[in-house]
Structure 1
Amino acid sequence: MKHSLFLFDLDDTLLDFRASEQLSFDRTMRALGLSDELEGLFQQYQAINLALWRAFEAGSVSKDVLKVERFRRTFADNGLDLDPEAASRLYLESLSETVVLVDGAQRLCAELSAIGEIGIITNGVHHIQHRRIASSGLGEHIAFVATSEACGHAKPDSRFFEYTTGMARRFARHETIIVGDRLDADILGANRFGIDSCWFNPGRLANDTQALPSVEVASLHEVVPALRALAAD
């Protein structure tokens, strides 16, 4: 295997964020006294949240605004007299307690950390991501965590990857690979920074973007064989 620095996206790559997100959202709403029709409300929240994260990555909204605004808009759209700041606080606290691993994450991290160095690259909230990693049991395999909040720039900005690779013990472009589920953040970021990438695509979605992964896998169990094949090419 030619790679020795493995940069992993966290949410929906190593951790099943969608499962954790729904558990945390439901827990938050019940804590605020709401228990009816949570599934429909959650779907609306997801759409609003996604739009705000895209705005954050484009630099048009701050993370502090995002954390509260997603709840404010959801409540306003549904005529709910609930406190968005309280919702944000409860939700973020819950996220670190509702960690769900993607199948194969533990084994993959153990195997790759024995080969080289693993770093986490995430646009998520800095202290929450650290707490979630601690709760996941993956921490012993991870050398460092790079967050956009600490860096000041978000994926796919090359400045984020400059910051990230500066945290590694050793960095060589040809020995570095990003593993992530998002073409527009992880894979495009790798393309712009000039390093290899592995697109984690469990839904087997079509790639209709300009982002070009070096390899593609549908399961974390396929990552090591894919990287070995890439090294042999």
Structure 2
Amino acid sequence: MLYTDLLFDVDDTLLQFKKGEEAALQTIFADYGIDYADGFETFRTISSALWQAAEAGEITVPTILETRFMKWLDAYQLEGDGVALDERFRSLLAADDYSFDGAYDMLRRLERHHRLSIVTNGVGNTQDARLKRSNLDSFFAYRFVSSEIGVQKPDERFFEAVNETIPEFQAERALVIGDSLTSDMEGARRAGIPSCWFNPERASIPNQPIDYIIHDYADLERLVAWQEPVRIRIDHYQLEEERVYVGDRSMIDNLMWLEDWHAVEKQLHALGFLRTTKPAHLVLDFDTQLKYVLHT
């Protein structure tokens, strides 16, 4: 087995935070007679700045909860209790099941052979309520929450808590699965843990090192079943960006060596290979008659 421990982020990885946030904020804004689009833009600007400051270690999560709605109320010169409003917002987040389609079945299959844990920058009781509402809470042996640990991903100390808590934890046998490049992927890099970027929207490939880039849960289930991952780079003078794919080494024997690099790329997709930004082990060089060489 390639990975023993699977470390899952929550928001926009298992639960659709944006969907739950929209429903919660619509309710709150309506009570104040504030247009949703305008109210959301103001709230997003305030909240994003606060969370970025928290990721940088400049403020704590409690500070966010104490100030974001107070700042929002001040922006509209409204009276109200910002802390109580934040509590209501987080309660509304757990009012419905906002899990991604297939999350429950995916976790049910993975727990048979892997130890599953939560690694989140959210608020502990809020995340617990949301996971329970979505029937996902029972799958996780351990949960790590930034507001309880005292530091946020990507701080190395967050994953030190993981290492110190999970019995016989081995960084190289663990995998961080999350949607955030700045907290999940960067945190995994700092901790020396393999990383898996959940990218269902197919956003542009970043420059930072990421072991696996997946678009759905099927990609994740496939990669954790691999025995020996191998990275292959496609080289061609027409390519403006480096394209490296990762897949199970056993699949290489099924790859047909065609002259058209587009066709070979389609084959890699069909064989279950995923994009990666890590350096390649093998090179398919279409400028030198399709010879592949060991990358050193």
Q: Output the amino acid matched with 1:134.
A: K
Aligned to 1:52: 50
1:154 alignment counterpart: 152
Q: Give SS of 2:8's match.
A: strand
- TM-aligned CA deviation for residue 5 of structure 1: 0.2
What's the C-alpha RMSD, in Å, of the aligned pairs? Answer: 1.8
- Offset at 1:229? 4.3
- Counterparts of 1:65 and 1:195, CA distance in 2: 29
Aligned counterparts, 1:71-110, within 5 A: 71-110=69-108
Q: Judge conservation of contact 2:60–2:151 (CA < 8 Å) in 1.
A: no
Give the equivalent residue in structure 2 for 1:21.
Answer: 21
Q: CA deviation at 1:36?
A: 4.3
Q: Which amino acid aligns with 2:20?
A: S
Q: Residue 208 of structure 1: CA displacement?
A: 3.5
Distance 2:54 2:23 in 1: 24
The residue aligned with 1:171 is: 169
Partner of 1:218: 215
Q: Is the 8 A contact 1:24 1:98 kept in 2?
A: no
User: Gapped runs of 5+ residues in structure 2?
Assistant: 231-296
Amino acid aligned to 1:2? L
How many residues are aligned here? 230
Question: What residue identity is the alignment partner of 1:15?
Answer: L
CA distance in 2, matches of 1:70, 1:99: 25
Q: For 2:32, what is the secondary structure of its paired residue?
A: coil
Q: Which has the larger radius of gyration?
A: 2
Secondary structure, in 3 states, of the residue corresponding to 2:57? coil
Between Structure 1 and Structure 2, the one with more helix by share is 1
Residues 103 and 66 of structure 1: CA distance in aligned 2, closer, same or farther (over 3 Å)? same
Shift of the alpha carbon at 1:66?
Answer: 0.8
- In 2: Cα distance, 1:168 partner to 1:106 partner: 23
Residue in 2 that maps onto 1:12: 12
Cα deviations by residue, 1:30-75 (Å, 9 ceiling, x for unpaired): 4xx3244123212321221111011111121222221131112222
Runs of at least 5 residues in structure 1 that lack an aligned partner in the other structure: none
Q: Would you say the 8 A contact 2:196–2:212 is kept in 1? A: yes
Q: Distance in 1 between matches of 2:197 and 2:107?
A: 16
Task: Say if 1:171 and 1:73 are closer, same or farther in 2 by CA, change over 3 A.
Answer: same
Query: Which structure shows the bigger proportion of residues in strand conformation?
Result: 2
1:16 & 1:78 partners in 2: Cα distance?
A: 28
Supply the AA of the counterpart residue of 2:187: G
Quote the residue 2:36 is aligned against: 38
What is the letter of the counterpart of residue 224 of structure 1? E
Contact 2:60/2:147, CA 8 A, preserved across alignment: no
Matched, 1:180 2:144: no
Farther off after superposition, 181-190 or 218-227? 218-227
> In structure 2, do the counterparts of structure 1 residues 197 and 230 end up closer, same or farther at CA, with 3 Å as the change threshold?
farther
Cα gap change, 1:119 to 1:54, in 2 (>3 Å) = same
